[in-house]
Amino acid sequence: MSNKVAVLGSINVDTTYHVHRFPEPGETLAATDKSSAPGGKGANQAVAAVRSGSETYFIGMVGADSEGKFMRDALQEDHIDTTNVGNDPRHGTGTALVTLDENGQNDIMVYGGANQAMTKDVLSKSEEVMKKVDFLITQFETPQTVALEAFKMAKANGVITVLNPAPATEILPELLEYTDIIAPNETESALLTGIEITDDASLDQTAEYFRAKGVGVTLVTLGSKGAYYSTKDGSGTVPAFKVKAIDTTAAGDTFIGALISQLLPDFSNLADAITYAQRASSLTVQGMGAMPSIPTFDQVQEALK
């Protein structure tokens, strides 16, 4: 039985330009293809959770525009509850412009729009959601002040809070006091802690840094080297699956959504949940686009055999 998950976060329409290589400053390059797909860290994580079997609720904001309708429809198609997705009359729906080279590497420019303009009002009807769910996930494409309010509400209802501090930016110290699990990648981790990740000792040091600030579980994704975890009971690294990446967009989001769908609330199956999430993520990078490439529970299980 999968967990019930709420995601507070960003909703973007991703437009991807396919190029042989990234342009140099001032250079104009011809794109070989262009595609649009639903995305945004929050939306991707919700889709990863729901496709891995979780009952999933979304809390967020779109603009009163066609992109907003497109994104609401996309979430509903995946059976994600969008009751708590508001319409912002003043700001457009978030958009992301992705440049993707032939090695599967990307760079991304994001217009925050309604995501960044979100206020605590978005949480006005969220108490009902917090009474239903086991986990609440958020990221940094929406304001931290809203995340803090949501985490306080979650903790008051016994919900486990998960912070994916991406894109990395200075964290409100109080937010960490209400965070049960923090899950950065190695680059974000170094930016947040000032600890360069080079070996096991620096990973343990990173976990200590977050533990001192009130976070019980640290997860650091290490790309092709796997994922590190640290809890009060110990630490370890779960290896990654070797695949040829076509498009790395949403790899980290898939990892988090898939992991939280499988993780037991007492964290006793953490290593297994990480293996599941690594496999899900390895399938995502083999497909094009953010949401379209996120796998289902059955696809992940098949790949794990």
Rounded Cα distance, 155 and 178, in Å: 7
Q: What share of the chain is helix, strand, coil (3-state, %, to 5)?
A: 35, 25, 40
The DSSP output letter for 264 is -
Q: Is 247 known as a binding-site position? A: yes
Q: Is 243 known as a binding-site position? A: no
Of the residues 199, 253, 266, 272, only one is catalytic, namely 253
Q: Is 40 known as a binding-site position? A: yes
Q: Is 287 known as a binding-site position? A: yes
Q: Is 103 known as a binding-site position? A: no
Sign of CA dihedral 212, 170, 89, 17: negative
Q: Is 2 known as a binding-site position? A: no
Q: Is 121 known as a binding-site position? A: no
Q: Is 41 known as a binding-site position? A: yes
Q: Is 206 known as a binding-site position? A: no
Q: Is 253 known as a binding-site position? A: yes
Rounded Cα distance, 246 and 143, in Å: 31
Hey, what are 235's tokens? 């630490």
- Residue identified by tokens 């994704």 is 221
Active-site residue, 33 included = no
Pairing status of strand 217-221 against strand 227-231 = antiparallel
Tell me phi and psi for residue 241, to 5 degrees.
-95, 135
Q: Is 43 known as a binding-site position? A: yes
Q: Is 190 known as a binding-site position? A: no
Please answer whether residues 238 and 271 qualify as being in contact, where contact means their C-beta atoms are separated by less than 8 angstroms. Answer: yes
Please answer whether residues 164 and 10 qualify as being in contact, where contact means their C-beta atoms are separated by less than 8 angstroms. Answer: no
Q: Is 249 known as a binding-site position? A: yes
Rounded Cα distance, 284 and 290, in Å: 8
For 140-243, where are the E strands, in sequence order? 160-164, 181-182, 217-221, 227-231, 234-238
Hey, what are 47's tokens? 């889709």
Q: Is 224 known as a binding-site position? A: yes
Q: Is 185 known as a binding-site position? A: yes
SS3 282: helix
Rounded Cα distance, 264 and 147, in Å: 23
Tell me phi and psi for residue 215, to 5 degrees.
-95, 125
Q: Is 236 known as a binding-site position? A: no
**Residues recognised as catalytic:** 253
Which residues participate in the annotated binding site for K(+)?
Answer: 247, 249, 284, 287, 289, 293
Which residues participate in the annotated binding site?
Answer: 12-14, 40-44, 141, 185, 221-226, 247, 249, 252-253, 284, 287, 289, 293
Which residues participate in the annotated binding site for substrate?
Answer: 12-14, 40-44, 141, 253
Which residues participate in the annotated binding site for ATP?
Answer: 185, 221-226, 252-253
